[in-house]
Structure 1
């Protein structure tokens, strides 16, 4: 697949960025730090330490640089279940409300503009890593390669570093392909305002995949539609952290339903809220639609809920659904047949998520309230499903071949 053509305005912006980078390359770091957006300022004299990759381990894996939803760190820990593997996860700290653990965290300003940090990071990775899991086709070494990681990939391979590409979702999910197959896709004409940009990014990343001929992993089964040659690398959650002793519907007059979207337009909050607020107004349920929670606050919110409604637009299940299943909640979401088919084939059991769509959500919730015992039985399968398939063991197995284990 050739790289998609860029529009004249995009080519103009690229040319302007190239001129700016060339100028910044010969500008002292102290001056650069004062020139950039105040939110991206950094200390040019005291860069953050480069990544530490112990040389005594036979396999040294770096997962970087996005750590989306904390999964880079979780996959690094999963990889360390394999004998002889030391893994590190790096992230760009975007100052978001949801903070996730990482072995290395650098500010966006330092990542983009600090040449001292970039040089030190490059030396550390090229000399210390045996394997790199590159997330979202994003540069490892900062802004100079932001538009194109091909140069970085060539440099890593010349240094003998094995590289695989890893995609999380909107970095490879084609909006036009999703819209064609999903009735409630967020990428429709009145949908997400980022659709056009995502169409370009996903096309560029798909072209990169075809060009570089590297192993490819995806974090959710739906992405196999966009990358059939990829391998599913299941997301990882800590079952013990999300576990709760309270069963759904116990000691409560009305069940509590929560919906905690990371992105409201992608999760279909506009489809969910009217239905559930209506049922709450009837007195059938209690309902909370919440945004902006930290990860610790999510644990408490799921523990208090009886039912979690995840999403109605994408047709997938990911980290949030796994966390809700691990908490033993009744999980309601739209998960399409392709995803459920992959789960049954790869895991040998059905996904314990109750199906609902924009047109069936109300009736699904009414049925659950009318027969909570049946829903509770479905929810009881959630913790074991997560422990069997999303605690890191299956993810370690998925990485085994890439990391050189037969």
Structure 2
């Protein structure tokens, strides 16, 4: 007869051997005990519920979706899975991840019914899929998408060409940038705000309005919305979680891509202005910059050296050709990486074949011809530019003009002086945050006015021409002169607020972003303007016109007549709001985006 300890040992061994089998069998038959996914999760109708009913092991982005749940404070997630070893093991890993993120109480494992019916899924609010694959391949649309639609669920899925085409064709949901937590959270809110047709018919998606909170689904009790996350920052090299102020790329009729220079943040400002003016437009901005550069808002950051890497280029090709209906090409730079060369010309055939509508955008040296500028302006800054640089910029301007002419694409310029170089272009004014630069500090009241000069590049501002005279006025205690270079943007704003006079440029003939910011702050701006250029666009900026040779007399006259100087400075905020708050710029792109 077997001893009692031996019997106990055999019993323990049996439990160890058969426990996994028993668990699997128990899970495989558990579906019979509930009729809907919401019932399986034990949730009331008042709780927003996301459901994932595809193969868990095939969806590599579910981990990121779980990581995003803290941004969706009221949402629960149901993982409907099979009882095969692969799915069960994958779910266990996801539950561990949910515990680490502090959302394990909102993630539910549900054994997949033998037959997945629309009635079973319909009790959820949204369906989610990720599609982030380790090999970078573009996935096919899974059959479960048809089940989701039959259940009346809108779908939030990772951005891939086949998936996006499916959602656009059926008006069935929203896409998000795989791996981006704010992008997923925003897509969920947008999908929840657009009801699915009750009859399940195919219909065009309602254009997104860019709002950050979604209405409570019909028949549900109102709950506090999750904190707003208006835009994704979806870049492998970008700062995740940083909100950007334009409508994130969706599945609507106009999906606008912008890239890749974003000089002085102008591309970001244009994206914001266009989305604010046109609710049907969603946007994605890709910015290629060296890691050490100042960063302006963008959805995707490509560190400039890696733009040549094959995997980065292939990712960019998939992003642009499968995601955008319209594209604003910034500074003639390539948008598909560097496979096709170092300018946009090599990318145009692929963009045309993909049916992407393209516009070109220029800001300055990429289109401004040095020789012609020297002929037009006695004060031209190209006289100070190194000869090698002047020759290179001449080549660049000639090449880009040829691209613009031969392509026949719409061309936009952000400063009116560039119409001298490309007279067929459309002026799309520089955009600044007028309210963000508002300052109530009065000007010209101190005995020694504070005069600020902050060049980005000295030869483009004429710095070396004016520096001796401004220093001499400072030494005579006529002014308090401050030269600032390489200062972070927020610190520069503080210095502008403290100034009375901002001297911008004295060699180009027009005003730039910094002058607009100074005018918005109510500061007196002194700069060299070509009057004929600004008359062409019916523009009379409240800027004191001066050259390097007349600057001293100009400043002395402003000090003598402080009241007139202060009145001129007071006109600045109104002028910038009228021409440079983004409304006029968005209107310039109307025909292109229509």
TM range (shorter): 0.7 to 0.9
Cα distance in 1 for residues equivalent to 2:332 and 2:306: 19
Residue 518 of structure 2: which of 324, 336, 349 is its match?
324
Q: TM-score normalised to the size of structure 2? A: 0.57
Residue 65 (1) aligns with residue 244 (2): no
Residue 56 (1) aligns with residue 251 (2): yes
1:95 Cα deviation after fit: 3.2
Cα distance in 2 for residues equivalent to 1:148 and 1:237: 27
Matched with 1:145 is 340
Matched with 1:259 is 453
Residue 277 (1) aligns with residue 465 (2): no
| Equivalent residues of 1:97, 1:292 under 8 A apart | no
Matched with 1:231 is 426
Which stretch of structure 1 is more off in the superposition, 81-90 or 375-384?
A: 81-90
User: Could you give the per-residue CA deviations for residues 290-331 of structure 1, whole angstroms, max 9, x where no partner exists?
Assistant: 100111111111100000000100111110110110110000
Change (3 A) 1:286 1:97: farther
Q: TM-score normalised to the size of structure 1? A: 0.83
Cα distance in 1 for residues equivalent to 2:349 and 2:237: 24
Residue 394 (1) aligns with residue 588 (2): no
Cα distance in 2 for residues equivalent to 1:273 and 1:148: 36
1:89 Cα deviation after fit: 1.6
User: Which is bigger in relative contact order (C-alpha 8 A, separation at least 6)?
Assistant: 1
1:183 Cα deviation after fit: 0.8
Gaps of 5+ in 2: 1-234, 239-246
Cα distance in 2 for residues equivalent to 1:124 and 1:324: 37
1:169 Cα deviation after fit: 0.2
Cα distance in 2 for residues equivalent to 1:308 and 1:136: 27
Cα distance in 1 for residues equivalent to 2:318 and 2:346: 15
Matches within 5 A, 1:111-190: 111-113=307-309, 115-188=310-383
| Equivalent residues of 1:222, 1:338 under 8 A apart | no
User: Could you give the per-residue CA deviations for residues 112-157 of structure 1, whole angstroms, max 9, x where no partner exists?
Assistant: 22x1121122112111101000011111021222334323111111
1:368 Cα deviation after fit: 0.5
| Equivalent residues of 1:258, 1:287 under 8 A apart | yes
Matches within 5 A, 1:187-336: 187-188=382-383, 193-250=388-445, 252-336=446-530
Gaps of 5+ in 1: 1-46
Matched with 1:27 is none
| Equivalent residues of 1:53, 1:128 under 8 A apart | no
**Aligned to 1:144, what secondary structure does the other structure show?**
coil
| Equivalent residues of 2:384, 2:459 under 8 A apart | no
**Aligned to 1:402, what secondary structure does the other structure show?**
helix
User: Could you give the per-residue CA deviations for residues 339-359 of structure 1, whole angstroms, max 9, x where no partner exists?
Assistant: 32134x2x5xx2111000122
Change (3 A) 1:70 1:369: same
Residue 370 (1) aligns with residue 580 (2): no
Cα distance in 1 for residues equivalent to 2:408 and 2:575: 33
Change (3 A) 1:142 1:353: same
Which stretch of structure 1 is more off in the superposition, 103-112 or 165-174?
A: 103-112
Cα distance in 1 for residues equivalent to 2:423 and 2:554: 32
Matches within 5 A, 1:14-53: 48=236
**RMSD (Å), alpha carbons:** 1.8
Which stretch of structure 1 is more off in the superposition, 383-392 or 137-146?
A: 137-146
Larger Rg: 2
Q: Which runs of 4+ in 1 moved over 4 A?
A: 189-193
